[in-house]
Structure 1
Amino acid sequence: MSQTRTPPVAVVTGAAGAIGTEICQRLQARGYAIVAADLSEAGLAALQGKLAQPLSCVAGDLSDPQTAERIRSTLDTRHGRCDVLINNAGMVITDPFETMTTARVRREVDVNLLAPMLLTHALFPLLQAARGQVISVVSLGSMLPLAESPGYAASKFGLRGFMLSLALRTPRNGVRISTVNPAGVNTPMLHYEARTGGSPLNFLGTPLEPEQVAERVIKQLHKPKIENDISASDGWLIRIAMLFPNFYAKVLPLLVSMGEKGRLKFLQKHGLTQEKPSS
């Protein structure tokens, strides 16, 4: 008598966004059941309309510990397992740091760093039982100081450090750890940065497409690496530059000038209007 095979289960945060949607589509094509988490309930409904199979949705603020508990409860009651956690949710604020409110300073760190730490902690027993995997979409900004986005850089530096530290614990607990560090990606968040004065370094090259990031995330399911830079050449250049931070500060004006030209081209290509001068 044949037995029905239980599908592997993946949790995806920021699931309703451009990258999250691509990840969910690819996971479903590979037979995964999905628990999709996002701040936007309407976004999750739209995501469901793009997928061939139903998914479990949890709408809520991931920086609230109760949201992590709701995700854990959904896994317990509907699936009984968790094989993969993909920390994909993130945000950036382009207000000048010196004029930001304390609440906005905290918000950026809460979403980009605290939220994935809380969720990873909440789901770790299930991941350990399944000898599962945590994959975090971080950023090349986790290695490169960004004058226009110090809170974003700090939170992503922290997330990268958290993931690399967890990777050292894999021999003890069996949970595999991977990070994916993309350069700028053609998403609404990058459009926001282009319009409102985000880092011109995002536009030194042609921004990636969400599909490229999703493909690299999915690749980790079968050929996991602790750290993945998109592109690898950019990752190595950044690592070399950070060996000489004083020199980096001196050449930064040239890089900003080059990136600003790319930003203006990006605005024109996508029919966007600059809302305020970049600084």
Structure 2
Amino acid sequence: MTKALVTGAGGGIGAAIARALDKRGHSLILADRAAGPLDAVAATLSSRPETILCDLSSREDVERLCMTLETVHPDLDVLVNNAGIVVPGAVSGLTQEELDLHLEINLRAPIRLMRAVAPRMIARGRGAMVATVSLGGVISLKDSAIYSASKFGLRGFLCGFHQELAPLGVKVSGVYPAAVDTPMLHHEALHGGSVLNFIDKVMTPDDIAAATLKAIDTGKLEVYSPWSASLTARFFGSFPWMIRPLLPLMEKIGEKGRQKFIAAKGFSTE
């Protein structure tokens, strides 16, 4: 039985990934910072997973998790770096702690975990590492500068690491979702998050879980969900100077999408 670790497993996307891997018969290790959400996800699975409390913003917690993987789970087959954080807002309006959290959770922690499991995967000549990135790792927009900085960094790391490990039989991939129907997106929809999240179709956690399985199976460097949204992001990522003059039109379209999303979810804006 293959063994898989999912970080951020207590959240919407992480829970969906855990269920998808469980259906495939993987032996699961689920990590998150709070026991309640982990236990709730564990109760939905066909077999009891191992659960590990780990706050990825704490370097001490991350090192303890790495030590556990190296000593207790050296046979790990799949690592899914799914945990992430986004605090929308202008850089000047964010605290230094919020800036640091993005870099610790979205960038440093996944890199550290991948480095921890890589040697044994290399020695076996097989394994898969996948990170949930974001279209924010392809295109950077106002009020998400620090988030994009962390995700741009993660994308760059995956690209180089993929080239290093592919010849050794180890898969390294990134999954790039557009907006996903999770509590995080609900908060953004109601509390000043970017309306640009709502230009394209809002995906479900199960959509991202399916993309994650595709990445595990194929080892493809980048898997987009939906693929159509990636075309816009990659275009503007290649020509970032075009974003600012087109931003008012994009925001107008996005605001209409946000209003439709709020209405469809039955949220109150009062």
TM range, smaller chain: over 0.9
Match of 2:148 in 1: 153
Match of 2:178 in 1: 183
Match of 2:94 in 1: 100
CA distance in 1, matches of 2:70, 2:103: 29
Match of 2:213 in 1: 218
Match of 2:192 in 1: 197
Question: Over aligned residue pairs, what C-alpha RMSD do you find?
Answer: 1.8
Match of 2:34 in 1: 40
1:9-48 to structure 2, matched below 5 A, reads 9-48=3-42
Gaps of 5+ in 1: 1-6
Query: Alignment partner for residue 224 of structure 2, among 229, 232, 247?
Result: 229
Q: Percent identity?
A: 38
CA distance in 1, matches of 2:54, 2:216: 26
What amino acid is the match of 1:262? G
CA distance in 1, matches of 2:156, 2:136: 13
CA distance in 1, matches of 2:225, 2:23: 23
Match of 1:3 in 2: none
Match of 1:165 in 2: 160
Match of 1:127 in 2: 121
User: In 2, are the aligned partners of 1:182 and 1:231 still within 8 Å (CA)?
Assistant: yes
Q: 1:141 Cα deviation (Å)?
A: 1.1
User: In 1, are the aligned partners of 2:175 and 2:223 still within 8 Å (CA)?
Assistant: yes
CA distance in 2, matches of 1:142, 1:238: 9
Q: String of CA shifts for 1:168-217, please: whole Å, max 9, x gaps.
A: 10245432111110100000111111111111111012200010000111
SS of 1:50 mapped into structure 2? coil
Q: 1:76 Cα deviation (Å)?
A: 5.2
Match of 2:244 in 1: 249
Alignment: residue pair count: 269
Cα gap change, 1:246 to 1:220, in 2 (>3 Å): closer
User: In 1, are the aligned partners of 2:173 and 2:216 still within 8 Å (CA)?
Assistant: no
What amino acid is the match of 2:141? L
Q: String of CA shifts for 1:38-83, please: whole Å, max 9, x gaps.
A: 1111111111111110111111211323333333444456544111
In the superposition, the TM-score normalised over structure 2's length comes to: 0.93
